[in-house]
Structure 1
Amino acid sequence: MRPRTIFLLRHGQTDFNVQGIVQGSGVDSSLNDTGRHQAAQFFAAYGHVPFDKIYTSTLRRTRESVQHFLDAGRPHEAHAGLNEISWGVREGTPITLEEDAEYRQVLADWGAGRTNERLPGGESPDEVAARQRPFIELLKSRPDEQKVLVCMHGRALRVLLCQLLNYPLRCMEGFEHSNLCLYKLEFTGTMFTVKNFLDISHLQVSAEAP
């Protein structure tokens, strides 16, 4: 079987990103002007790629990030398994490492391997990983989809990369992300390998570039 290429993309910028407000799976925000510009830049760089399928979460910020591809007629499916982690009662509020002891503690727990911990009312990384697994099996089961674009969310992306690359979830902080960043993976049918890590080169050119 020919190796397949999986493009993993984080959604573009929203006003909540700028304001440092946690979105999570329960906040269905849209891209802001910068995020829409980032989406246009990504399409300018990758619009020529013949994606066999585009997958997004069910949240609008992921679909808006790839809307140019959908307008061009690329096949699309939305999967709730790709939704962002739920931050529970903290969604829609500011959370910073410097000021929020509860948030700092749960991140420390995750880094120590206690990935069943969660913020009140939210999800744990273990729970996110569990709901992602049916999507992973679906992705593996479609060898005719040689080039696939998956647009999702920062924390969920970290969890997915750990699963695809066989890292324990306690290592997820090692997968950095930023708005509209790209990880490109190759799948041989038995294993995934990273070809591009935290690629933002498409954001460094004009959206009007060929």
Structure 2
Amino acid sequence: MQQKTIYLIRHGETDFNRRGVVQGSGVDSDLNEMGRAQAMAFFQAYQHVPFQKVYISGLQRTYQTVESFIELGIPYEKQTGLNEISWGIMEGKVPGNTDNEYYRNLIESWSSGNTALPTDGGESPDEVAARQKVAIDAILSRPNEETVLVAMHGRAMRILLCWLTAKPLAMMDQFEHSNLCLYKLRYEYGSNTFTIDVANDTSHLLTLALV
């Protein structure tokens, strides 16, 4: 049975991550110094993997995360369906007490099953999943690309992993993530199923703690 192996990573750290600023699809931030170091540590750990394609979102922090692989000559493709969720009017802000209550209520609503509820001025998890399916369909339509690297974003990754593994989106928060974490998935073309072999792995970043 033909398989596709997907190395799914979250982008490296940005200053917005470090400062706790809300960073959705409307914030096109750069990696900071730590984020670039994380990207290089991941590259050094996985440069031997024979990736046939690299997929990124439409936001530059994903391109910067995998730039070293692209510089090897590996072809890459931008899929805006992989973009982070739009947090609407909250983007670019450091949440205050009132905002924290808003987020708590929003996450509780999603966790209770109301994943059609959008952020204020932004997207719902259902809407994110719908655009992700277009991107994933494109990736899966190329079975000759047996091993691919996909760089995307935290909340979007949680939503993606939920529906790829046939779980309701209400369970998305069970998928933990951190900057430059790795999820490794296997897709079986015959059974149309995804299996997670590695989850939220950051062992490639251990070298950074020694610096």
Q: What TM-score range do you get, normalising by the shorter chain?
A: over 0.9
Provide, for residues 41-67 of structure 1, a one-character-per-residue CA deviation record: whole Å limited to 9, x for no partner: 000000111101100001000000000
Q: 1:84, 1:126 → 2: CA distance?
A: 13
Cα deviations by residue, 1:74-99 (Å, 9 ceiling, x for unpaired): 11000110000000000000137896
Shift, 1:167, TM fit: 0.7
Contact 1:97/1:103 (8 A) holds in 2: no
Q: Tell whether the 8 Å contact from 2:38 to 2:208 is kept in structure 1 after alignment.
A: no
Structure with higher helix content? 2
User: Does the C-alpha gap of structure 1 residues 164 and 96 become closer, same or farther in structure 2, counting only changes over 3 Å?
Assistant: farther
In structure 2, the partner of 1:109 is 109
1:193 CA drift (Å) = 0.2
CA contact (8 A) 1:54 1:150 kept: yes
Q: SS of 1:183's equivalent? A: strand
- 4+ long deviations beyond 4 Å: 96-99
Q: Let me know the Cα RMSD of the aligned residues.
A: 1.5
Q: Is the 8 A contact 1:13 1:31 kept in 2?
A: yes
Q: Distance in 1 between matches of 2:16 and 2:134?
A: 29
Correspondence for 1:150: 150
Is residue 20–residue 96 contact of structure 1 (8 Å, CA) maintained in 2?
Answer: no
Among 184, 191, 194, the alignment partner of 2:193 is 191
- What's the TM-score, normalizing by structure 2? 0.95
Give, in angstroms, the shift of residue 147 of structure 1.
0.4
Equivalent runs, 1:57-76 vs 2, <5 Å: 57-76=57-76
Structure 2 CA distance for aligned equivalents of residues 147 and 29 of structure 1: 28
Instruction: Report how far residue 205 of structure 1 moved.
Output: 2.4
Amino acid corresponding to residue 183 of structure 2 in structure 1:
Y
Unaligned runs of 5+ in 2: none
- Counterpart of 2:202 (choices 195, 200, 204) is 200
TM-score by length of 1: 0.95
- Structure 1 CA distance, aligned partners of 2:116 and 2:94? 23
5+ unaligned residues in a row in structure 1: which ranges? none
Conserved 8 A contact 1:58-1:82: yes
Give distance in 2, aligned partners of 1:40 and 1:81: 25
Aligned residues: 207
Tell me, yes or no, if the aligned pair for 1:97 and 1:104 is still in contact at 8 Å.
Answer: no
Provide the identity percentage: 54
Aligned to 2:180: 180
**1:124 shift after superposition:** 0.4
Whole-angstrom CA distance in 1 between matches of 2:80 and 2:208? 33
**Inter-CA distance 192–170: structure 2 relative to 1 (3 Å threshold):** same
Asked if the contact 1:103/1:119 (under 8 Å) is kept, the reply is no
Please tell me whether the aligned partners of residues 13 and 179 of structure 1 are also in contact (alpha carbons under 8 angstroms). Answer: yes
- Give how far 1:120 is off: 1.2
Q: Distance in 2 between matches of 1:15 and 1:206?
A: 17
Q: Deviations over 1:127-152 (max 9, x none)?
A: 00011111121122111011010000
Whole-Å Cα distance in 2 between the matches of residues 44 and 7 of structure 1?
15
Q: Secondary structure at the match of 1:100?
A: helix
